[in-house]
A and B are shown apart, each in its own frame.
Chain A
């Protein structure tokens, strides 16, 4: 009888990178459908242009550089879809095409592919587009939640992503299934809401589709966010602070995108400065506490203490 030999562990969780990406695509599907309903078939054309160009670029680059074809892991599709959703509904059709090319070619592959890039490729492309073609990138209106119905369908939406904050609820399911982690979104939302309240901004301006999208999908992009436990909290707080700083003086839609892009810059620094110590190391306060406790003569006082 023949037996398979392999290194341990012999059981693993069935979560794969492929599964995580396709689940993210699935979670973005409702908002895409709502935007098509809201903006008409032209929105569908933008989405398809974005996805199509991203996939083609990935395919060409991997063929030309003799790499393994990784279309099926879904990351190109996800990048194309996310970029298309961040565009205004009246953008010319070549905007998502140029954007997707830039995202995959420069944002992803020029930095070394999956896991190696330092900036979220989607944001790289978005920053490029808004600098190069700013007149096409400004939406006709910036959304503002007026009432409860705006959570379901936002009438003032300018970007595809702004049409329906509630349609992004799939992101919470991803957190529940641990496909994306919870620390960054939680601290991002908390910091933003608290700071926005303190500076007196209207909550209707803060909580929009773009904000929910940024919190759940852009900030949690794993290669461009820190890995240490403390680092992820700091990253979330930093994103929140930057969002409020930019949003208070300009608008909260672009604030979300810029703040995450800027926070990406310091990801490596956050990681390196929050490396955890050894499990039995004592912190500064513990050492001081111990030094004081050592001076108290417990034996003479007749008090029993832990050794």
Chain B
């Protein structure tokens, strides 16, 4: 289990974006010149599709202005000049709170999944009932998090799962580990929890979570499966783990499944036990820095300060990437802040920067061989390029999990993933135009899940 260091230095300037999730931008609660404390709420939700923003440091608000954001846009942000002494808001633990209270507390504390959806929406989706909560621990960035020992990690994770189940009103919960992640499997295997011994069960063939719930006669299980990564894995992940097929244009919530990350589970546990809102996160720094490590940083710290804490750049940096080399976003500015959705920072030097020119597809079928969801990426890319979106639909383009493997292996260096994303977006936008009255066969929201 990789060690987590804590970033001790206090930067000169903190930029806290008022949008660190998918949804609406928060309204600032502070103005220039005000003094804020650690954990003070500085962004209020204007609607339900939103999560509150808190200050992660103690200091004076310098300005509220548009500032660069790791997503590549400019977002209204609160700029704070931190001071040395740390004065905290009074955190009150929320032990033994009921379901309704937990949901509102999660929303107030601004807990957000690493893929962007606010956690209260995942656990309490409108018009849907959740019966199974899954914690996805299959992606390497999230495993381990910041725990002293593997045992602590395992038991705290199970506590978090209990809390998540309570908040969602779900009867069953599962933690999904990665097959080759032996540290985590060792941590969970043989652990005694609530009088039962946890056994890590592999998901093979038809043996999905339903089988193990019955087999082990319990409501909390730990299972393991192959690594799944990508920007849009939920339909595939839900099917792989539970065997339930998510209908087209629906979220896993429509089949009663809530998927949470390790980070939000940990944040919820902290919130309930100490009352601390979501103001710090673990970032993996790797690539061309002198001292690559996992670092616990306060949200709002700029990438530049994080890299300085890791011993500065090694040589001349040429590319700065947030959230992984396969699907991450290249940054044009090193002053962008760490947000709730930031999981890793990667620095590449001049030699690593790709300078490929796309050529014609040679139908080598390498993309077909690597695709985890059995698509024909080269053909979908060609159809997208020509704007033939209907035919893309027939090729099951909606299954694409945007993992980027096809672009990565392409010998002609075609931007396969971008072409597929473009087409997916165009299809989604075409469907938006239908008003509900005109098209009775297309129902939006969770209603599409109920037969």
Contact = CB atoms under 8 A, between A and B. Distances in A.
Interface in B217-241: 236, 239
Contacts of B328: 8, 10
B411 A279 contact: no
A227 B418 contact: no
A65 interface: no
Contact of B362 (A3, A9, A17, A279): A17
Given A1-B317, A3-B334, A227-B378, A12 B215 contact: no
A10 B376 contact: no
Contacts of B38: none
B99 interface: no
Contacts of B399: 278-279
Contact of B376 (A114, A223, A227): A227
A279 B239 contact: yes
A15 B396 CA distance: 28
B408 A275 contact: no
A178 interface: yes
A276 B317 contact: no
A222 B362 CA distance: 6
A9 B326 contact: yes
Interface string A263-283: 000000000000111111000
Interface residues of B, number: 62
Contacts of A275: 376, 395
A8 B362 contact: no
Contacts of B348: 10
B45 interface: no
Interface stretch (B2-10, B133-141, B177-185, B367-375): B367-375
Interface string B314-356: 0001111100011111111110000000000010100011101
A10 B349 CA distance: 12
A3 B210 contact: no
A10 B346 contact: yes
A147 interface: no
Contacts of A306: 206-208, 210-211, 214, 243
A227 B319 contact: no
B411 A20 contact: yes
Contact of B368 (A3, A20, A227, A280): A227
Contact of B354 (A6, A15, A178, A277): A6
Interface string A205-241: 0000000000000000011011111001000000000
B412 interface: yes
Nearest to A222: B364
A139 to B, nearest CB: 32
A276 B245 CA distance: 17
Interface in B385-404: 395-396, 399, 404
Contacts of A16: 356, 411-413
A289 to B, nearest CB: 11
Given A11-B408, A278-B396, A228 B368 contact: yes
B363 interface: yes
A3 B333 contact: yes
A53 B376 CA distance: 36
A306 B374 CA distance: 25
A16 B410 CA distance: 8
A1 B334 CA distance: 8
Given A17-B412, A280-B239, A3 B356 contact: no
Nearest to A20: B411
Contacts of A114: 359-360, 362
B415 interface: yes
A279 B374 contact: yes
A181 interface: yes
Contact of A223 (B236, B346, B363, B407): B363
Nearest to A6: B330
B245 A10 contact: no
User: Which of A3, A8, A115, A227 has the largest count of B CB atoms less than 10 A from its CB?
Assistant: A8
Nearest to B348: A10
Contact of B329 (A8, A229, A278): A8
A268 B116 CA distance: 42
Interface string B292-321: 000000000000000000000000011111
Contacts of B352: 11
A124 B177 CA distance: 53
Residue from A7, A10, A280 with most neighbouring chain B CB atoms (10 Å)? A10
B49 interface: no
Contacts of A3: 317-320, 330-334
Contacts of A223: 362-363
B143 interface: no
Contacts of A305: 214
Residue among A9, A17, A20, A277 with most chain B CB within 10 A: A9
A67 to B, nearest CB: 11
Given A11-B326, A12-B410, A279-B374, A227 B243 contact: no
A5 B354 CA distance: 11
Nearest to B406: A9
A85 B206 CA distance: 52
Contact of B404 (A8, A19, A278): A8
A4 B319 contact: yes
B319 A10 contact: yes
Interface in B82-119: none
Nearest to B354: A12
B334 A19 contact: no
Contacts of B412: 16-17, 115
A113 interface: yes
Given A3-B334, A4-B330, A10-B325, A222 B360 contact: no
Given A4-B330, A6-B319, 11 more contacts: A5-B330, A6-B330, A7-B415, A8-B328, A8-B404, A10-B321, A13-B409, A114-B362, A227-B363, A279-B373, A306-B243
Give the 5 A-B residue pairs with the shortest CB-CB distance, closest first.
A307-B210, A306-B211, A115-B360, A227-B365, A222-B364
16 contacts: A3-B318, A3-B330, A3-B332, A6-B330, A8-B325, A10-B319, A11-B408, A12-B409, A12-B410, A13-B409, A15-B366, A222-B364, A223-B362, A228-B368, A276-B375, A279-B396
Interface of A: 1, 3-13, 15-17, 19-20, 113-116, 178, 181, 222-223, 225-229, 232, 275-280, 304-307
